[in-house]
Chain A
Amino acid sequence: MLQEKLQAIVLSSSDYGESDRIATLFTLEHGRIKGFARGARNSRKRFGPALETFARINLQLLRKDGLSSLKQADVITLYSGIRGELSSIAHALYACELVESITPEGHPVPRLYRLLTTYLERLDSGAGNPEDRRMFEINLLNILGYRPLLEKCSRCGADFGERGALIQSGGELACRICAATGFPMPIQALRELRSCLSTGRFGLVRFTADGILPVGRLLDDVIVSHTGRKLKSLDFLRQTSQM
């Protein structure tokens, strides 16, 4: 068996037994994998704080189906800016849980790795906010092929134009002729959501005040339809945004 060197972001980790740790990692090379770090809590030399959630690390491991064996990890960054700002921690943990819950195991998604890294860097340099979160989510859904149709009605294929768009359950958009009820989605907000897909940089797209709410509703619906459950970190995200 060959020892591999990988780049990874720690999505979550937990203590196992007296001295070991199990970590879920999002690697550039193999996507999401689970790793067992024997003696990680005693050996500061081999792991240090490298298995802290959302740390970006260089990793040496023996890859196995199910549970890989972690040999050594070196911190590239722990994102001290995120760790010093409550809203950034809350958003970073949410981003990690989302990637862990929605990505296939052992399947490389390098574009998503870069998106997550860019988002963590953004959170490291300033407070977390709903606009950046939605920018991250729509790009994540797009990369994974889960993006809802934003250009036209998902049922009849007509441009929304004058017809207007309504959010349907499961995170679909339908025009007012095809659907009788649903939360209204402003056409301007759809335009803003589409422009999120054409830029790789955070902070360039601004949502109108009445757009961010329906955009959030749509993305939350799409995400739940793929993860199958409400993410645990959402409660803390909501609590901290009210402080």
Chain B
Amino acid sequence: MLTKSSSLMRLVGELKKLPGIGERTALRLAFHLLKSPQNLTALSESLCEVRDRVHPCSTCFAITETDPCSICSGNRDSSVICVIENSQDLMALERSNAYNGMYHVLEGAISPLSGIGPADLRIGELLSRVTEGQLKEVVIATNFTVEGEATALYLTKALKSTGVKVSRLAHGIPLGSDIEFVDAATVQWALQGRNEL
């Protein structure tokens, strides 16, 4: 019989801390891992490897295994920095193949209702990069949520004195969608941000 302090129940407890995993799923995963000792070894080795090797880049704070990361040390346009909330956003922008500049990961967004303010993000480091470097433009690519918008507006004000050009990612109707089914707010934004042809 398993006690609360048994190693299996500890594993279930750890799995339950992951997003979207409840008690039942955690138990199922734990018993699945138990079935194969090889799986358990591979998973535990991989977890340790990630812990020891992966860390934020000391320049842009993207998740990396080298420091500086491959983007900061690579052959890219260093006159423009794209500001994003997290490293997953960086991956999405890289998949687009439409951007060849540098990045700056804020590690979150300003969220006044959760008590997360500018000082809790990598904003000071961004301002240093902007004032020290030969920068032409900062592209703000935070999310289009209230938190992302608050962060974008805050950065715009904070960057004003540096004189650098600040731009914001455009937002509008998703490609391949039928305007009839797009929500009113998105249509409104798209109309406001329309382009001349």
Report which A residues bind B (CB closer than 8 A): 12, 17-19, 44-45, 48-50, 52-54, 75, 77-78, 80, 83-86, 89-90, 93-94, 96-97, 232-233, 235-237, 239-240, 243
Q: Say yes or no for B40: interface residue by CB 8 A criterion.
A: no
A22: shortest Cβ distance to chain B, in Å?
13
Residues of A within 8 A of B115 (CB): 232, 235
A residues less than 8 Å from B20 (CB atoms): 17-19
Cβ–Cβ contact A236 & B117, under 8 A? yes
Whether A239 contacts B146 by the Cβ 8 Å rule is no
With A12-B113, A48-B186 given, can you name 10 additional A-B contacts, CB distance below 8 Å?
A18-B19, A45-B181, A80-B185, A84-B153, A93-B113, A232-B115, A235-B112, A235-B115, A236-B150, A237-B112
* In the bound complex, CA of A5 to CA of B20 (Å): 29
* B114 at the binding interface (Cβ < 8 Å): yes
By a CB distance below 8 angstroms, the chain A residues around B185 are: 48-49, 75, 77-78, 80
What is the CA–CA distance of A80 and B144 in the complex, to the nearest angstrom? 11
A199–chain B nearest beta-carbon distance, Å:
29
With both beta carbons as reference points, the residue of chain A lying nearest to B115 in the complex is identified as A232
Are B149 and A49 neighbours in the complex by a CB distance under 8 Å? no
Interface residue SS majority, chain B: helix
Contact assessment for B184 and A75 in the assembled complex, using a CB-CB cutoff below 8 Å: yes
* Pairwise interchain contact A243-B157, C-beta atoms closer than 8 A: yes
B150 near A52 with CB under 8 A, answer no
Chain A residue contacts of B183, Cβ below 8 A: 44, 48-50, 75
Q: Give the residue of B19, B112, B188 whose beta carbon is less than 8 angstroms from that of A236.
A: B112
A83 to B188, CA, bound (A): 13
Judging by beta carbons under 8 Å apart, are A232 and B146 in contact? no
Residues from chain A with a CB closer than 8 A to the CB of B146 are 52-54, 83, 89, 93
Q: Is A52's CB under 8 angstroms from B153's CB?
A: no
Which residues of chain B are near A53, meaning CB under 8 Å?
113, 146
Could you tell me the distance in whole angstroms from the C-beta of B79 to the nearest C-beta in chain A? 26
* Inter-chain contacts of A86 with B (CB < 8 A): 150, 153-154, 157
A32 to chain B, nearest CB (A): 15
A235 touches B113 (CB 8 A): no
Contact with A along B136-179 (1 / 0, CB 8 A): 00000000011001100110011000000000000000000000
B145 touches A85 (CB 8 A): no
Residue from the list B22, B113, B184 in contact with A232, Cβ < 8 A: B113
B: residues with CB less than 8 A from A are 19-20, 22, 110, 112-115, 117-118, 145-146, 149-150, 153-154, 157-158, 181, 183-186, 188-189, 192
| B112-A233 in contact (CB<8A) | yes
A97 vs B192: C-alpha distance in the bound complex, in angstroms? 30
Q: B19 contacts which of A17, A52, A97, A232 (Cβ < 8 Å)?
A: A17
B117 touches A89 (CB 8 A): no
Chain B residues whose CB sits within 8 angstroms of the CB of A50 once the complex forms? 183
Given contacts A17-B20, A80-B189, A86-B153, contact A235 B117 (CB under 8 A): yes
Say how far B27's CB is from chain A's closest CB, in angstroms.
17
Contact between B113 and A239, CB atoms less than 8 A apart:
no
Bound-complex Cα distance A97 to B19 (A) = 26
Give Cα A125–Cα B54 distance, bound, in whole angstroms: 46
What's the least CB distance linking B85 to chain A, in Å?
14
Question: A232 to B153, Cβ gap below 8 A?
Answer: no
Nearest-CB distance from B155 to chain A (Å)?
10
List 16 A–B pairs whose Cβ atoms lie within 8 Å, in order of A's numbering.
A17-B19, A52-B145, A53-B113, A53-B146, A54-B146, A75-B185, A78-B185, A80-B185, A80-B189, A83-B146, A89-B149, A89-B153, A232-B113, A232-B115, A235-B112, A243-B154
CA distance A49 to B118 in the complex (A): 24
Q: Which of B146, B150, B183 counts the most A-chain CB atoms under 10 A from its CB?
A: B146
Find out whether the CB atom of B153 lies under 8 angstroms from the CB atom of A85. yes
Asked if A90 meets B112 with Cβ closer than 8 Å, knowing A18-B20, A236-B117, the reply is: yes
Q: Which one of B118, B181, B184, B186 contacts A239 once the chains associate, using CB atoms below 8 Å?
A: B118
* Chain A residue with the shortest CB-CB distance to B21: A17
Q: How far is it, in angstroms, between the C-alpha of A97 and the C-alpha of B112 when the chains are bound? A: 9
